[in-house]
Amino acid sequence: MRSICVFCGSSEGSDARFAKLAEDTGRAIARKGLRLVYGGAESGLMGRLARAALEEGGEVLGVIPEFLIPLEGLQEGVEPRITATLASRKAIMVEEADGFLVLPGGAGTLEEIFDMIMLRQLGRHEKPAAFLDAEFWGPLETLLLKVVDAGFAQDNVIRTISFHAEPDAAINRLESEWTA
C-alpha cells in the first residue's frame, strides 16, 4: 500500500475530538510512510489532517476544484492538483488511492463515501475502506447493514468496510486488506 485517501469535513465540526482525530490521522499516515490523498483544503478537518501529515514529514496530494479555493483555501506545502469539478476531484482521489479512510464530515463527505462504495459494488475498484470515530459513524454502519439485509447491496462489499476508534487500527486494517 502506497497511499490512503481520506475523506473528511472542510469545517471543524462541533466537537474538539474531531480536530484531534484529524491531526492524529495525518501523523499516523505520515509515520507509516504512506502518501495522504485528500481534498486539498486548508480549512476544517482537511487542513488539520494535511498540516499534521506535513509536519510529520509526510507526502500529501491535495486535489481541489478551482472554485473551492476562495472558499476553503489551498493548503500550502501539498502537491496541488487543481480540477474543474467535484466529480473530477473525486475521480482523481479514487484513482490515486490504494485505500480509503473516512473521518467525520458533512454532505460532501457522505457523497464521497457513497460514490466510493457504489464504485466498489460495480467492480470499478477493490480498494479497502475504513471509518474512524465509530461513535460518529455508528448510525451509518447500522444503515449500511440494513441495506444489505434488505437485498439492496452486496454483502461482500459492505461487510468489508471496518469501523475504528484509533487511526493506527484503521490504517493497519487497510494495509491488511489491500491487494496490489
CA angle 18, 22, 23 (to 5 degrees): 120
Domain hosting 167: range is 3-177
| Structure confidence at residue 180 (pLDDT) | 64
Pick the closest to residue 29 from 63, 55, 11 (CA basis): 55
pLDDT digits over 17-64, tens only?
Answer: 999 999 999 999 999 999 999 999 999 999 999 999 999 999 999 999
- The rounded distance, in Å, linking the Cα atoms of 176 and 26 is 19
Residue 178 has pLDDT above 90, yes or no: no
Share of the chain above pLDDT 90, in %: 88
Share of the chain above pLDDT 70, in %: 99
- The rounded distance, in Å, linking the Cα atoms of 90 and 149 is 28
pLDDT digits over 74-100, tens only?
Answer: 999 999 999 999 999 999 999 999 999
- The rounded distance, in Å, linking the Cα atoms of 112 and 28 is 22
| Structure confidence at residue 10 (pLDDT) | 95
Identify the CATH number of the domain in which residue 140 sits.
3.40.50.450
What is the helix (H) or strand (E) element at residue 169, kind and residue range? helix 167-177
pLDDT band at 158 (very low <50, low <70, confident <90, very high): confident
* Count of structural domains within the chain: 1
Pick the closest to residue 1 from 140, 121, 98, 144 (CA basis): 98
